[in-house]
A and B are shown apart, each in its own frame.
Chain A
Amino acid sequence: MIMGECQVKVYQPDTSAFKPKIAAFLCNWCSYAGADLAGVGRIQYPATIRTIRVPCSGRINPLYILKAMANGADGVLISGCHPGDCHYISGNYVARRKFALIQSLLKHVGLEDDRVSYSWVSAAEGGRFAEVVKGVTERVTALGPNKGVFKVDDGGAAGE
C-alpha cells in the first residue's frame, strides 16, 4: 500500500471554533507531576493550556495572573499540592490565603468568575488533572475570548 491510499482518517479540528488559550501555573511537586501522569497515561484533555512550572503555588505572584490577563490569555489555571501535602510544608497554605483574596478582588472589579481558576491536584491525580482542564476549558470557552478588563492591546502601545 502506498501512502496516498492510506485510509486512516486524520483528525481535523474545527479551526473556526473558539479555542481558548489558558495559562496554567502548576507547582513542580504535585500538579505538574499530575499533568505528567496524565500524559504518561495517555489521558486526553483539551490542548488549551500553556503550562508554566513554578516551584510551589506559594511562589505565584498575583501579578502573574494579572499579567497573563493583560497579555490576552483567555483564562488562567492555578494548581498546587493539596493543603497539607506541600513539599515546602506550608507554601500552599500561604498561597491559599492569597488566592482567596485575589479571586474575590478580581470578581469585585468585574472580571468574570471563571476566567481564573484555582485547584489542588496531586502527583497521583493524572485523571483528575485531565478532568480539571476539561472543566476549566469548557467554562472559559463558554465565556468566550478575553474581554479585556485587564487586557492591554498590542503590548500597551495601542493606547485607547
Chain B
Amino acid sequence: MNNIINDIRETARQLLADGKVDVVIGYEKGSLPLKATPCFVRSAQEVDRLIWDETCENNLASFVANTPGKKAIIAKGCDSRSLVVLIQENQLLRDDVYIIGVSCPGVVNKRKIEAEIGEILEATIAEGTISVKGMEGSKEYSFADVKDATCQTCRYPNPVIEDIHMGVTIEVSQSTPFADVIEMENKPDSERQAYFNQQMSKCIRCYACRNACPMCYCPECFVDCNSPKWLTGGVNRAENLMFQAGRVLHLAGRCVDCGACARACPQDVDIRAMNRKSAKDVLVMYHHEAGISETIKPALNEFSADDPEAFLVKE
C-alpha cells in the first residue's frame, strides 16, 4: 500500500508540476476513523494530502464531469468502468481526464464493524488486518471479513481504462456471478415483496444514492420533475419503491455496480439488490456488462432481431 501511495503522489506531483492537469481528484484522510474523503489537489505542494487504502470508498467518477479543466482522477476498477460509461455517453472527453488506475482490494464496510463494537474511536489497517477500538470494545478483523458487500462480488477490481497503473494487478475470484441475485430470485414472491417493503420503508428520500452515483447526471431527475409530477414527495414505502425502481430502470445496462449508492445511504437501504437484479438480467439476456469496454455499445442502445420475448403475455 505504502508504495502505491508514493507512486500516486509522485504521479500527481508530476502532472501538476508539468501543467498537464489542473486538478487531481483523489482521497485524503477523513475526519472519522476508517473513512477517507474525496479531495481536490490543485498544486504540487499539496500532493502529500493524497492517500490510498481500504477506506477510499467514494466513486470519484461522480465528480469528474462537474470539475472544470483538465483533471487526473484516481480510479479503482469500478470507478474506471463508470468513466467508460460517462465517456460513451459524451459526458466526459477522454482527453480531459488522466486516469491513474489503481487495482483495488476492496473497501471496508465500516457499518458492519460498528454494529459489533459500537462507534469507532480508533482504527489501524495493516497487512490485511484491521485493528479497531470501538466504544463497546476492541477487535481485530481480517479485512476479508469486513469487506463491503459490493467488493465481495467484484469482478473488475482492475481498472479497465487507465493512463498509468499503480501497484500489482489483482486476480479476480471466479465465483458464480450474481449468486446473491439468484438466491433472491429463488425466494417466493411474497418473501421478496416483504424484503423490499421493509427496505423501502427505511428510505428517507435524501437522494444520497442518486447523488453519489456517477451515472445519475440528469440535469432534472424524474423525482424532481413537477410536470409531469411522477412522485408526490410523499415519503412512504410505495413511493420510495417507485423512486428506486425508476432509478434502477434508468440505470439498466449502465450501472457498473460500484456500490456507491448503497455506501452513501445513511439509512443502509439495500439499494444494490435491485440494481444487481437488473445488471444480471442485462448480462443473461443481452450478454452485456456496463463500462467494460469503450467500443461495445450499451445494451439498451442496441437490439437484435432474436432478443428474448419471454415477457410477452400468454395467449
In the complex they form, do A and B come into direct contact, defined as C-beta atoms under 8 angstroms apart?
yes
Contacts of A70 in B (CB 8 A): 238-239, 242
Stretch touching chain B among A25-33, A36-44, A145-153: A145-153
User: Given contacts A94-B303, A97-B300, A110-B189, are A156 and B285 in contact (CB under 8 A)?
Assistant: no
**Beta-carbon contact of B236 and A159 below 8 Å:** yes
**Beta-carbon contact of A110 and B196 below 8 Å:** yes
**Beta-carbon contact of B238 and A112 below 8 Å:** no
| Measured CA separation A107–B192 after assembly (Å) | 9
Indicate which residue in B231, B245, B250, B285 contacts A100 across the interface (CB closer than 8 Å).
B285
Contacts of A151 in B (CB 8 A): 238
Contacts of A105 in B (CB 8 A): 245, 248-249, 252, 274, 277-278, 281
Stretch touching chain B among A4-12, A46-54, A115-123: A115-123
**Beta-carbon contact of A149 and B281 below 8 Å:** no
**Separation in Å of the A157 CB from the closest CB of chain B?**
7
**Beta-carbon contact of B192 and A109 below 8 Å:** yes
Count A-B pairs with CB separation below 8 Å: 138
**Beta-carbon contact of A150 and B238 below 8 Å:** yes
**Separation in Å of the A102 CB from the closest CB of chain B?**
6
**Beta-carbon contact of A110 and B190 below 8 Å:** yes
Contacts of B307 in A (CB 8 A): 93, 96-97, 100
**Beta-carbon contact of B241 and A118 below 8 Å:** no
- 8 Å CB interface, B279-306 against A: 281-282, 285-286, 299-300, 302-305
Indicate whether B193 reaches chain A with its CB closer than 8 angstroms.
yes
**Beta-carbon contact of B315 and A132 below 8 Å:** yes
Contacts of A149 in B (CB 8 A): 193, 238, 241
Chain A contributes a number of interface residues (CB within 8 A of B) equal to: 46
Contacts of A159 in B (CB 8 A): 234, 236
| Measured CA separation A70–B182 after assembly (Å) | 28
From B193, B250, B274, B285, residue with most partner A Cβ within 10 Å:
B193
Chain B contributes a number of interface residues (CB within 8 A of A) equal to: 51
User: Given contacts A100-B281, A109-B193, A156-B232, are A62 and B246 in contact (CB under 8 A)?
Assistant: yes
Indicate which residue in B230, B241, B311, B313 contacts A136 across the interface (CB closer than 8 Å).
B313
| Measured CA separation A146–B250 after assembly (Å) | 24
**Beta-carbon contact of A156 and B185 below 8 Å:** no
- 8 Å CB interface, A65-89 against B: 66-67, 70, 77, 83-84
Contacts of B278 in A (CB 8 A): 101, 104-105
Indicate which residue in A104, A157, A158 contacts B311 across the interface (CB closer than 8 Å).
A104
User: Given contacts A96-B309, A100-B285, A101-B281, are A152 and B300 in contact (CB under 8 A)?
Assistant: no
| Measured CA separation A157–B236 after assembly (Å) | 10
**Beta-carbon contact of A101 and B282 below 8 Å:** yes
Contacts of B313 in A (CB 8 A): 77, 117-119, 132, 135-136
- Chain A residues with a Cβ under 8 A of chain B: 62-63, 66-67, 70, 77, 83-84, 90, 93-94, 96-110, 112, 117-120, 131-132, 135-136, 148-152, 155-160
Q: Which 5 A-B pairs have the closest CB atoms?
A: A110-B193, A156-B232, A156-B234, A93-B303, A103-B311
If A97-B307, A159-B236, A160-B238 are given as contacts, then 4 extra A-B residue pairs at C-beta distance below 8 Å, sorted by A number, are A104-B281, A105-B252, A107-B189, A109-B245
- Chain B residues with a Cβ under 8 A of chain A: 184-185, 189-190, 192-194, 196-197, 222, 228, 230-234, 236-239, 241-242, 245-246, 248-250, 252-253, 274, 277-278, 281-282, 285-286, 299-300, 302-305, 307-315
A-B contact pairs, 8 of them (CB 8 A): A67-B228, A96-B303, A106-B245, A110-B196, A117-B313, A120-B312, A150-B241, A158-B234
